[in-house]
Amino acid sequence: MSVIFDFDQGVLDLESTNAKLEQSDAEERVRWAHEHFGDRLILSTSFGIQSAVMLHLVTRIVPDIPVVFIDTGYLFPETYQFAEQLQERLELNLKVYQPLMTAARQEALYGKLWEQGREGLEKYGRINKAEPMNRAVRELGAVAWLTGLRRKQSKSRADLTVVTVQNKTTKIQPILDWSEKEIYYYLKTHDLPFHPLWEKGYVSIGDWHSTRPLTDGMQEEETRFGGIKRECGLHELSGQGDWQI
């Protein structure tokens, strides 16, 4: 039997929990997470193309939830501007985490890791994404994490369930089953903005050096990391050291 530990109610069966939440809507999934994990629940955001959806959806239900933003130092200027806009509008309890090693030091020691194939990209992800997120989880005392992952985003996410366990952290994906149409409708209904680079053909936003616009014949997942990989490091299982998220 697969289980996840719940601080208030002992042990939950992962299979039956997912069966129940699969039939729930996004708001009910957020409420479930808050009821079960309380102030040990966090939300992450990349301030990407559709990030306003999760930020608005979750903070309407849990206004003071810590919102973790990993600033790699390589984000688009428009991303920083978008982050400021949404933080002010939604009054986010924003927690910004950065890599322990500066971009300049990384490039001096290792070169441009994003140009060094899969191995380089994985090292880049550990330094710039996974370590800061692990640190956020530890310092904020979190045991559960709300994410905006959706099945339709890529093949690597197609089989995800609403609740997963990634090493020591329980992850909840409230909008896992949403379509692009539902995302668009939510943004329009609540007068929320897309990331400004949406109008320039970007459908997924990460670091400037590893993100490109969608062009004819491309799949969305090919717009990141030159098509070598889809995940940046935050949503991959790993048994390496304290890469716990």
Per-domain boundaries in the chain: 3-227
Judge: domain 3-227, CATH 3.40.190.120: no
| CB burial readout 8-35, b (16+ within 10 A) else e | eeeebebeebeeebeeeebeebbebbbe
Q: Span 50-75, mean pLDDT?
A: 97
- Residue 83 above 70 pLDDT? yes
Determine contact, residues 145/170, Cβ cutoff 8 Å: yes
Strand partners, 146: 43, 172
Determine contact, residues 82/47, Cβ cutoff 8 Å: yes
Q: What is the mean pLDDT of the chain?
A: 87
User: In terms of Cα–Cα distance, which of 223, 221, 199, 225 is closest to 213?
Assistant: 223
Collapsed DSSP state (helix, strand, coil) of residue 97: strand
Q: Span 22-33, mean pLDDT?
A: 96
Which residue would you say has higher pLDDT here, 223 or 129?
129
| Angle of CA points 17, 23, 25, to nearest 5° | 105
pTM of the model: 0.87
Percentage, residues of the chain above pLDDT 70: 86
Which residues are part of the catalytic machinery? 232
pLDDT digits (tens, 9 = 90+) for 96-147: 999 999 999 999 999 999 999 999 999 999 999 999 999 999 999 999 999 9
pLDDT digits (tens, 9 = 90+) for 146-176: 999 988 776 767 788 999 988 778 999 999 9
The secondary structure of residue 47, as a DSSP letter, is: -
